[in-house]
Structure 1
Amino acid sequence: MAIREQIPTMLPFDEGVLPVRYLGVPLLSSRLLYRDCRILVERVKNKVTDWKKKFLSFAGRVQLIISVLTSMQDDGGLSIKSLKWWNVALMSTHIWRILENKDSLWVKWIHAYHLSNHSFREVPVKPDVSWSWRKLLNAGTIIRQHIYYVIGDGQSALAWFDVWYNLCPLQTFISWQDIHGVGFNKHNRVCDIVVEDEWNWPLAWYIKYPQLHMISDPNLTTTSV
């Protein structure tokens, strides 16, 4: 007997059919189209129309207008959150779970299937990946600049991508040609560019990139942060 046939005999669940719907909208791995959300939109329109006809008196309409005008003056709008940035904020919680390698099935699956022993911060945004994964990666580029690393033992922060000093990320002003030319690579951690409590980059970089003079000498500890 195939595994698929064995599962219903062991668990009290019936086999379903994809796509699964939630609030009338199909749960898809790809981007939702207008036709997928049409039922939900029509239901909302009908509810709003019914609410306006039955429950909003003339006095209520006046109060609604006053409330909207007041919110426009006080908040600069209709007190409606930007869905774009609200979505980025929600995705940041997922990204933080990935970066912290939280003990959950979803995070383990992400690391095994999408990352394959690479850091989330190193994964490029490819056109052939799923819509949801691409959205997470795009949000990661926005969120990354707001994450500041305490160096600690230097094994957590990526040397060229992460913000572990005010001038970081270093890849914004040090060319990849120079980085690869001296034997470094994009996977380097901060500890990889430190030798005997000194930066291991070429002295010529201090002339080509005078900003490096502003970075204090490293003081790695035995604590990973």
Structure 2
Amino acid sequence: MSNVAMHIYMAGIDETVRHRLLQITGFQPREMPFRYLGIPIASQKLRISDYTTLLDALTSGVVDRIYSICRSFMWTTPRPPIAWAELCRPRREGGLGLRDLSAWNRALLAKVLWRLQDKQDTLWIRWVHHTYLQQSGVWGWTARHGDSPLLKQILQIRDSILETAGSPAAAEQLLSEWFQQPRGVARAYDFFRGVRPLQPWVQTVWQSSIQPSHSFTLWLLARGRLPVRARQDYIPDRQCVFCGQAEETLEHLFFQCDTSGRLWGRVRAWLHMRPAMTTFQSMLRTFRQRYRRSYTVTSARHIAMAALVHHLWSARNALIHEGRQLDEERLYRRVQTHVYRTLGVYTD
């Protein structure tokens, strides 16, 4: 084995032994602390500052990279139409049900806080009480300069809960309500992310028989975030790509344009859908009030509605980007075929 560029780190040994080891190995002595794969290695207790680079990389770089990968998977545009925080909301609140890592981390730390205030009989809890809390308790605990980042984060969670609850007694009650029952972390997660009102269109958009890609297009329509020309300030021509008679808004493109109106008329006649749907809100109201029961024809109406919206949007994009003209008959047959196949009905 070559001893070129070989180094040895030693600590806590006699100087004679140290000298003998250097003679035998021929290695060059180096002093601690040093870093291995970014992790500080030392022969004594490290200071908080020794971990700063590693902690910064983990807390910001890794999480930001995860979000970046997810955004790249979700959107192809550098300016996503919907903020990431909105995607992390549950479907019932208008999001996609993705997890907000920051809020989830705070919920997990809140459970650690609950275990500390409950003085659960574990080695780590006993050590924290003996070393840091002593006689002050969780609610009177003040962070010191040398405390670990974990403990300081727990204190931030404590202060956030105290601010909402109003008093230590109320905060203890809130923690107990969360974590003395199943799914406590999920309830704490709702607290930290902030709960929004339920959206009335959720059941229609995410109806189980609808193809996921169609539900996604319908979800963007419900959120008002499909990039029609009326929403794009940098485009001088904002006329509807199908009829050229009016500004291309969401309501016009999908419900008021002559082209989409004819297609809606054919689908409504085929599936006996009443009344006419001239806006997204009227369509939503019709499906919510009239088409709720679990009949095959009800599923067919949901599937056809979502498929028509999805294929209209695809045809609009194909016309703009590829110059491919819309074939109304082909699009209508495509919707019909999709409904039959989804329901397991096969025709010649």
**Structure index of larger Rg:** 2
User: Scaled by the length of structure 2, what TM-score is found?
Assistant: 0.26
Could you tell me the TM-score, scaled by structure 1's length?
0.37
Higher relative contact order (CA 8 A, sep 6+): 1
Richer in helix (by share): 2
